């Protein structure tokens, strides 16, 4: 399941772990030890996917749960998301966590660190063309980000062939990568993907020697599943079985919450639900 945006090296690294065996068991209990690093996707993993990205519902217990987990891991917890860091914090609040946003295009290595841009800004002409296509195709949702732009076709699946042609043309003209997700196509500046973000975190002194776990639900998380396996880590697929580089699976967002809470309760009896 290699996207057209993958370069030869990236695709080869991912494909060496990729399996069509969809029978995956549950991950082991989360161990909050000095040897664990935890990476979490956001949409479809920590919150349910909504028709509009702004309409997701964040449970009140989630931000404090994440902060407590990060403290128990001495900061070796990071959210790795396709959303911009600003958009994520608009939903979670100004949360004290390490974050890679925009598929790794922006990088905050620790809770109180400055945000580092790892890609050049997306040309405005790309967003203009996506908006033109969206208007001509029944009013698709275009989601501009600092280093990428997503166009959602959930309510207009019939436009997919033309949308593929549009984004492939933009990618060729501006040297962009293309990422396919759940009823969304995203064009991104080169050098931003979730696998690279995980590897950048793992190169930091705080993460050195840890065994990484990455939890995610979408095709855009496959690069990260492959990345953690290069460190003998665990990729956890969220949702229905499918071909994947993950090594275990949880059924959905609620199951992810329970798994995280159980790991915290093993070392600290606390209930963050309101």
Mean per-residue pLDDT for 68-94? 94
Whether residue 18 is predicted with pLDDT greater than 80 in this model: the reply is no
Strand partners, 235: 214
Per the model's pLDDT, the better-predicted residue between 1 and 154 turns out to be: 154
Looking at residue 203, the DSSP 8-state letter turns out to be T
| DSSP 3-state percent helix, strand, coil across the chain (nearest 5) | 35, 20, 45
pLDDT of residue 2: 31
pLDDT of residue 133: 97
- Using only the alpha carbons of the chain, give its radius of gyration: 18
Could you read off the pLDDT of 120-179 as tens digits, one per residue?
A: 889 999 999 999 999 999 999 999 988 889 999 988 999 999 999 999 999 999 999 998
Whether residue 274 is predicted with pLDDT greater than 50 in this model: the reply is no
**Mean pLDDT over the full length of the chain:** 89
Residues designated catalytic:
41
In which residue are the tokens 């997700």 written? 181
pLDDT of residue 250: 98
Which domains are delineated in the chain?
36-118+192-271 (3.40.50.1000), 124-188 (3.30.70.1020)
Report how far residue 80's alpha carbon sits from residue 223's, in angstroms, rounded to the nearest whole number.
12
Could you read off the pLDDT of 242-255 as tens digits, one per residue?
A: 999 999 999 999 99
Helix ranges (H only) for 116-186 are 124-136, 160-174
Task: Spell out the residues 6+ positions from residue 230 whose beta carbon is closer than 8 angstroms to its own.
Answer: 13, 199
What count of residues does the chain have?
274
């Amino acid at each position: 399941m290699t996207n057209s945006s993958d370069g030869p090296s990236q695709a080869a690294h991912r494909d060496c772990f990729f399996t069509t065996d969809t029978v995956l068991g549950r991950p082991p209990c989360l161990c909050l030890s000095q040897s664990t690093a935890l990476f979490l996707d956001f949409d479809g993993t920590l919150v349910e996917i909504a028709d509009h990205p702004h309409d997701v519902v964040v449970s009140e217990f989630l931000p404090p749960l994440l902060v407590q987990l990060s403290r128990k891991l001495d900061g070796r917890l990071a959210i790795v998301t396709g959303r911009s860091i600003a958009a994520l914090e608009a939903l979670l609040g100004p949360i004290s966590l390490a974050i890679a946003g925009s598929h790794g295009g922006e990088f905050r290595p620790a809770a109180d660190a400055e945000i580092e841009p790892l890609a050049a800004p997306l040309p405005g002409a790309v967003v203009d063309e996506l908006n033109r296509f969206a208007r001509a195709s029944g009013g698709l949702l275009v989601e501009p980000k600092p280093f990428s732009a997503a166009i959602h076709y959930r309510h207009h699946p019939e436009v997919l062939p033309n949308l593929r042609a549009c984004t492939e043309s933009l990618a060729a003209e501006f040297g962009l990568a293309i990422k396919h997700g759940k009823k969304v196509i995203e064009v991104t500046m080169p050098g931003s993907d979730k696998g690279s973000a995980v590897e950048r975190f793992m190169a930091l002194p705080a993460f050195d020697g840890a065994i990484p776990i990455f939890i995610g639900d979408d095709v855009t998380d496959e690069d990260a599943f492959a990345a953690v396996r290069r460190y003998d880590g665990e990729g956890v697929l969220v949702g229905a079985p499918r071909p994947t580089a993950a090594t275990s699976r949880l059924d959905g967002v609620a199951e992810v919450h329970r798994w995280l809470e159980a790991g915290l309760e093993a070392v600290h009896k606390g209930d963050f639900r309101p």
